[in-house]
């Protein structure tokens, strides 16, 4: 995928008005349309959920968002390691920032959809369920990272410190994602391993769920590219202004 090297377009080809990779973006759009229709029409209401089982359809959208928050954090972690260990360049720093921004976005979405589901299923929009606590603290980690970035003026120092912060926050992230939701004493309302166990979901649910996840991943990569392009354009603009002045 052209996710890592999206800007290799040479200067002379920039006159071409066609957007790069238009085909797969259309495919992602179409794919998600099919997923949405399938989630509401092809899959039956799930036993044990309220609103005639319709509440269960939320997992097709809520769970991929939550998984993407986690994936995005891993992407940021990977680029942070690359930044500290090998390549101290602005490009890698920018990718860490974008991964954290997108992680924040999906974290907000997962929190909102989760709260809606909790309101319908468990009678209250907020239950202090371990996973609910976890996602709110993840939200805080993302926010703290963005605050740290805005506090440091020097760009190289900002890159170094924020990369270090990402790597330190791995420790709470591991606790929040894997340890806390699985402590039996805390009594999570969320099921722990429905996604991979055999009895958890019916085949139709599984197909739609994983298709939805793939679609969301496509949207993620797309957003990543747009944000990267925007950041590069902004930088080029400030450079040009500096030269002009």
Partner 1 sequence: MSTGSTGQFSLFSAAWAILVKDIRSEFRTRVALNSILLFSVTTMLIVGFAAASGEPPPMVKIALFWVTLFFAAFSGLSHVFIHETETGSEIALRMAAPPGAVLAGKLCFNLLLTAVIAVVIGPLFWLMLGLSMARPFALIAVLAAGAISLCDAATIVAAILAKAGGKGALFGALGFPILMPLMLVALHATRLTLIAEIPTDVIAIQIGGLLAYGIMIIAMSAILFPFIWDQ
For binding to partner 1 (CB under 8 A), which residues are involved? Answer: 84, 133, 137, 140-141, 143-144, 147-148, 151-153, 157, 160-161, 163-165, 167-172, 174-176, 179-180, 185-186
> What six digits make up the tokens of 57?
């359809």
Shortest gap between Cβ of 84 and partner 1 (angstroms)?
A: 5
DSSP string, 21-44: THHHHHHHHHHHHHHHHIIIIISP
Query: Toward partner 1, which CB reaches closer, 19 or 174?
Result: 174
Question: Which of 23/154 has CB closer to partner 1?
Answer: 154
Length of the chain: 245
Running DSSP on this structure, what letter comes out for residue 100?
H
Of the pair 31, 126, the CB lying nearest partner 1 is at 126
**Smallest distance from the beta carbon of 129 to partner 1, in angstroms?**
13
What are the C-alpha distances in Å from 68 to residues 54, 136, 170, 186, 215? 23, 15, 16, 25, 11
Q: Which is nearer to partner 1, 192 or 197 (CB)?
A: 192
CB of 15 to partner 1, least distance (A): 42
Question: How near is the Cβ of 141 to partner 1 at its closest, in Å?
Answer: 4
Q: How far apart are CA 124 and CA 132, in angstroms?
A: 12
Structure tokens that stand for 19 in this block: 């957007």
Min separation Cβ 178 and partner 1, Å:
11
Q: Other C-beta atoms within 10 Å of 75: how many?
A: 21
In the bound state with partner 1, the residue whose beta carbon lies nearer, of 51 and 147, is 147
Those residues with Cβ within 8 angstroms of residue 27's Cβ, 6 or more apart along the chain or in another chain: 218
Cβ distance to partner 1 smaller for residue 64 or 130:
130
CB of 111 to partner 1, least distance (A): 15
The rounded distance, in Å, linking the Cα atoms of 48 and 36 is: 22
């Amino acid at each position: 995928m052209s996710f890592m090297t999206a800007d290799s377009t040479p200067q002379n080809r920039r006159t071409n008005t066609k957007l790069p990779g238009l085909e797969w973006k259309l495919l992602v759009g179409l794919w998600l349309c099919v997923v949405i229709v399938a989630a509401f029409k092809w899959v039956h209401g799930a036993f044990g959920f309220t609103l005639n089982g319709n509440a269960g359809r939320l997992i097709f959208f809520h769970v991929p968002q939550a998984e993407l928050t986690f994936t995005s954090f891993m992407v940021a972690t990977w680029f942070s390691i690359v930044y500290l260990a090998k390549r101290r360049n602005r490009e890698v720093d920018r990718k860490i920032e974008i991964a954290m921004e997108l992680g924040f976005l999906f974290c907000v979405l997962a929190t909102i959809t989760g709260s809606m589901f909790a309101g319908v299923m468990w009678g209250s929009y907020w239950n202090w369920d371990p996973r609910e606590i976890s996602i709110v603290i993840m939200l805080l980690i993302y926010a703290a990272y963005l605050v740290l970035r805005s506090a440091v003026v020097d760009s190289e120092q900002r890159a170094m410190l924020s990369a270090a912060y990402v790597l330190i926050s791995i420790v709470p992230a591991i606790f929040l994602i894997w340890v806390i939701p699985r402590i039996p004493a805390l009594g999570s309302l969320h099921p722990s391993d429905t996604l991979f166990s055999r009895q958890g979901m019916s085949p139709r649910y599984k197909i739609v769920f994983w298709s939805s996840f793939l679609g969301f991943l496509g949207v993620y990569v797309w957003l990543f590219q747009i944000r990267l392009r925007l950041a590069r354009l902004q930088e080029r603009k400030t450079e040009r202004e500096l030269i002009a002045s």
